[in-house]
Structure 1
Amino acid sequence: MDATTENIDHLSKVSETSCNVDAGNCHRLSYANLSGILLCNYRISTNCGSLVPLATKVQQTCQVDNFYTFGIIGDSSQNASDSIDLHLVVAGETMGYPIE
């Protein structure tokens, strides 16, 4: 099974869990077979399930052959009346991002 698919499946399984990242950091949410999904940017807390469509979009758009998926997608999450920008990274290993 493609590692990115495994990572997306993991996010789906924990969809009601809160995925958090502190300001100025990246947090690895899922890791399988040298591939990971990271949530980066400002302090944010969102249901992990809300990130599945973003990860799926990266997978469908940024796949190299049938071997490797890499991409960064921007979005925002609503927190009361504030909209908070975020980046979701799908990449091999950690790509040098600091991991909490």
Structure 2
Amino acid sequence: MDNNLQMIGRAVDYIEEHLTEENLSLDRITGEIGYSKYHLHRMFTFVVGIPIHRYILRRRLTEAARMLVFTAKTPDRYRTVLWLRHPAFFFKEL
């Protein structure tokens, strides 16, 4: 289990480092950390409680909310920087 936790930690670190990049995907993450998509998807969901794509979306929304509170950028700029293509992302229940 420790190896799986390390794998999840590496995936989360990679997500954090590349959160503002449009092409952040399971394929890209698994290619970087060297695990199969199937294994990472299952273990990430088991450990974190949500699938990796939903985790990325939630992190982007959290970052957008942080930017809204602590910076002077416009909401359209948040969507652009974080690849949230539609304003409804801010209101959709995850």
What TM-score, normalized by structure 1, do the two folds share? 0.30
Higher RCO (CA < 8 A, seq sep 6+): 1
Q: Which is higher, the Rg of structure 1 or of structure 2?
A: 2
Which structure features the higher share of helix residues? 2
Which structure features the higher share of strand residues? 1
